[in-house]
Structure 1
């Protein structure tokens, strides 16, 4: 059984710790801060087996050099740092190209790791699917999605569409606690969505208790996330109203996504 634990970092980042069947070797996903990771390892008597990176942004990779050095000092084998092959990341020594390596085997993990190509937020953004969990970095957030920095809206829309095809029960482990802010926008876009209102109440209660809103699930996101619902009439109508468009004007899904992301950028 895979145990997944969140280490909070900075203001709203999550660094995910992956541990299989209580073995003392773990992986971490997107460690922007090394100190919180080493504190966690020492507190729980664990050894770092490797690092999984989704993209090059510093709040996801900044802790890599210190963790590599920490692994050397603690006598562990050379630390494997996995990440996108086409992004420049200090310390990356196992570059992954999803077009040629769709799956890889990681020591101490029982199941193969599926590697997904998700360009959009950055040019080489990837995600990892392990058992029924997806670690999607800054591509899909609960009730939202990442900004389009280096890719195109078409790439981001395709990336989200690919994640949407994962099994409904797949747990979504994104890298930030953005859910409350995303819900404010989602409710503006989709105000009559009863499931969205119920989820907003649930998340507000969790955050009031200091608890994480993550993980979500693919099934939930398909129900409440406007960026995965750009084919729905209620989302299309909201976009037309916001941009003062004619009701008769046809909007395809990519145009809807592009306009929705523009709207969110200034919300």
Structure 2
């Protein structure tokens, strides 16, 4: 990816996984607007990632996109090495300030019909991948830094067909509390943001593109509409802002009050 080499050290750097589209893209852009430089990852959409980098640079911040497959822990050591090199060469730093574990994939099947392959995919990306990527990156995360894991409103309320996905997000919420406790001596806060239904291409874009489904969800949402990516991106930026430093081990649902 084309980027600008830093001439002076960055003040704040966030690493956002899955930052080339959807909620990750919105989060990366909102963080840039709040003064963060951004390292973002993509799995296969290099052109989309390059576009996000260009948009961040147009905001006057530095950015770089790196490939990452969250479902394959075998690549995490090499990825951490790439991050270390990128921090030095492109941002003039040896560490970064915030990790947003956002990258994900969806599956839709009743638990009685969920295949082992579907379950393994959800586990590898959403639970195993998040733990071991975080573990690899901890030496590069600054003391006093932030970790924000992305869960889902589906860990609280239930819609048939999302059981395997939601179970992994439930695991992420428990893991977050443990990480918050264990990383507290370094001054690192760890929290969860749990989006409700959002109009993105996630899960084939059904919430965005199916008018009947969109209206049904809006009818179950206290604020009367389906979420937009920037609703989540703004919450991510808020939770990584200086004023949120006394929040840790918490689950913050950003759903407009779905199924209250």
Structure 1 and Structure 2 fold alike (TM over 0.5): no
Structure with higher strand content = 1
Q: TM-score, normalised to structure 2's length?
A: 0.37
- Largest Rg, 1 or 2: 1
Relative to the length of structure 1, the TM-score reads 0.37
More helix by share: 2
